[in-house]
């Protein structure tokens, strides 16, 4: 992968954000495991052709910096494991995971450096999967796990907005994460390894709607002279049935796959993506010939 510098950032900054871990066949991290198998397979295949701009890597690097700082302020002891990497062989693949913080009383903590909106609906499903895979690695090394938690540190928290009770009340929130049974976690681990191996061997595995972070098409009931929607509907017929005044009208808000649009480094090489774009183009032509 080549890092570009389109915004002409100073060289030390570009150098600091340029460290990127190259994926390797037969070796897979927990973070890669929870990502779509197709995405990793395309990364393996097209790594040398990929580019990313330094300016798009700033936040990821800030997160790494905070991890480093937290590591320096916590000493690994008999009681703690800090930034500790564990590995396990699963169906011929080496699975690795680096834990932020584990206490011998069985509490596993993971730090996340995120926008406030990332946790507005609570713990993301992929975080639950990630922590439960770490828990499984710990169990395989005979460490007990009793609790999982995420410490979310908000990079865009605003004190002014905290007057709203639905907004996080401080810059840091601690979330409890559901702990799966050992059987459930082991089954999930084996299934993810199987899917990634399959994709790696060239078998086409489509990314699911959940993996693409799909947002479905919505129909907004609007009123002339007002900017925001009165109400959003999943079905066009329902929105049309809600038009009760001459000033009302329905606006279609097309759905999108947010990960494909903005957060997938291999989208230019993805057949599923190009087929979806072609289908969307055809639909658009039908609607606006």
- Site residues for ligand SF4 per CB under 6 A: 36, 38-39, 42, 207, 212, 257, 259-260, 264, 266-267, 270, 272-273
Kindly give, in sequence order, each residue whose CB lies less than 8 Å from that of residue 153, ignoring residues fewer than 6 positions away. 66, 111, 112, 113, 114, 171, 172
Residue with tokens 């007990």: 144
**Distance separating alpha carbons of residues 207 and 205, to the nearest angstrom:** 7
Min dist CB 43 to ligand SF4, Å, is 9
Q: How far is the CB of 206 from ligand SF4 (least distance, A)?
A: 7
- In the bound state with ligand SF4, the residue whose beta carbon lies nearer, of 175 and 213, is 213
Please tell me what DSSP assigns to residue 10.
Answer: -
Shortest distance in whole angstroms from residue 271 CB to ligand SF4? 8
Q: Which is nearer to ligand SF4, 42 or 177 (CB)?
A: 42
Evaluate whether 138 touches 97 at the Cβ level (below 8 Å): no
**Residue in 157, 65, 160, 57 with CA at minimum distance from that of residue 111:** 65
Shorter beta-carbon distance to ligand SF4: residue 135 or 207? 207
Q: Which is nearer to ligand SF4, 14 or 264 (by Cβ)?
A: 264
Closest distance between ligand SF4 and the C-beta of residue 275, in Å? 9
| Nearer of residues 173 and 272 to ligand SF4, judged by Cβ | 272
Residue 137 DSSP one-character state: H
Helix (H) or strand (E) holding 93: strand 93-103
Compute the distance between CA of residue 244 and CA of residue 249 in angstroms, rounded to an integer: 9
Q: How far is residue 114 CA from its own chain's centroid?
A: 11
Of 247 and 278, which CB lies nearer to ligand SF4 in the complex structure?
Answer: 278
DSSP 47: G
- Report the nearest approach of ligand SF4 to the CB of residue 181 (Å): 30
Distance in Å, CB of 259 to ligand SF4, minimum: 4
Greatest alpha-carbon pair distance for the chain in Å reads 72
């Amino acid at each position: 992968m080549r890092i570009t510098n389109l915004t002409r950032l100073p060289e030390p900054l570009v150098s600091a954000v340029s460290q990127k871990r190259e994926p390797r066949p037969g070796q897979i991290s927990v973070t890669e495991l929870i990502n779509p198998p197709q995405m990793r397979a395309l990364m393996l295949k097209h790594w040398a052709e990929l580019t990313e701009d330094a300016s798009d890597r700033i936040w990821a690097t800030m997160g790494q910096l905070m991890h480093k700082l937290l590591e320096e302020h916590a000493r690994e002891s008999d009681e703690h494991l800090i930034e500790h990497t564990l590995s396990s062989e699963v169906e011929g693949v080496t699975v690795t995971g680096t834990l932020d913080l584990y206490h011998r009383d069985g509490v596993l903590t993971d730090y996340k450096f995120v926008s406030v909106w990332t946790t507005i609906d609570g713990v993301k499903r992929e975080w639950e999967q990630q922590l439960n895979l770490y828990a499984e690695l710990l169990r395989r090394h005979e460490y007990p796990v009793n609790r999982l938690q995420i410490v979310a540190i908000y990079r865009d928290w605003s004190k002014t907005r905290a007057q709203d009770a639905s907004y996080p009340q401080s810059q840091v929130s601690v979330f409890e994460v559901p702990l799966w049974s050992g059987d459930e976690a082991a089954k999930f681990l084996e299934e993810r390894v199987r899917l990634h191996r399959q994709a790696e061997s060239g078998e086409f595995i489509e990314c699911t709607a959940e993996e693409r972070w799909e947002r479905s098409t919505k129909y907004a009931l609007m009123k002339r002279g007002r900017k925001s929607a009165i109400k959003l509907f999943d079905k066009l017929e329902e929105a049309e049935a809600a038009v009760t005044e001459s000033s009302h009208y329905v606006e279609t808000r097309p759905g999108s796959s947010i990960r494909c649009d903005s957060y997938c480094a291999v989208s230019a090489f993805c057949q599923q993506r190009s087929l979806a774009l072609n289908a969307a183009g055809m639909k658009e032509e039908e609607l606006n010939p």
